[in-house]
Structure 1
């Protein structure tokens, strides 16, 4: 694929490249094959051989995934001490209550190799965002409504958002990561790859 990739040269002389991907539902956040599930290699984009995802999204989650060969950025974004914000659009079963939202804001107890209390989160109701269709779609039930929240956290525990909404009695039906720090999903479609420009790259290092 003949594309111009924005590169950022470090003092070591190494050129680093930065991409954001809208990871589709059902795709693994890795390039290596594992069973029959599709991987990032199936996006058909010519990523550098030394590029890897920063963090991960579960195969049943969608949205923004950052890919780079800059290991220093990996450390910056994933270290708990840096409190780097990640934002999600979450569709939950039934109309979520004010009490549940307040619990999520304060932190809830989830199971992460034992009981763990999440840090306070930013949580607000939102109208259903305009999104690409999920394949397959979520199970539709005529008599059971659903609702949407936007939830921002600075942690990244295993299946944390799903465990948080389940803990307050509103299981997650669909989960989309809409932002990582200053990077937003904007008008990307499922499976899109975007090459970051220099100004966008710079915001990641503030």
Structure 2
């Protein structure tokens, strides 16, 4: 809604704190997305300027999150809630310095690990926007058909004709029509749709 944005810090669908999946780059992509709802520059962060919230659950591990690097998501969310215009790189470097100190090799190594982890995780669990293909109930581990035949499914609809869901206005479900024309034009065409979203649209 345009009231408040809800993000998910708990890694229910992103490796459950067993896999490294740093979500700040994802959240920045969401916050910086131009909706065009009030003309150019109507980013999500501007449209939902009343605030944001998040779903999070921590455990009883000494570090709360199962592994230390997962703590970066809690820190990153708090920083973006305070200032959604901060960059992922800056937030990442702040957290690493506060957590591990100022060693430049550590800063470089952990920064690269964190900033690349979401894309890496996505590539081996839900490539090209196909949707989360995980085991039902506990949502851990890849399962191509896990939700395919469920009413809650993401429906990759893979068969001998192809894969993916046609959500275009012209031939599909019409989902693309919910976007403002500036974005709808991009998602309506296979030629202009970003590759990482191709099988979603």
Please say whether Structure 1 and Structure 2 have the same fold, judged by a TM-score greater than 0.5. Answer: no
- TM-score, scaled relative to structure 2: 0.24
Higher relative contact order (CA 8 A, sep 6+): 1
Higher strand share: 1
- TM-score, scaled relative to structure 1: 0.24
Higher helix share: 2
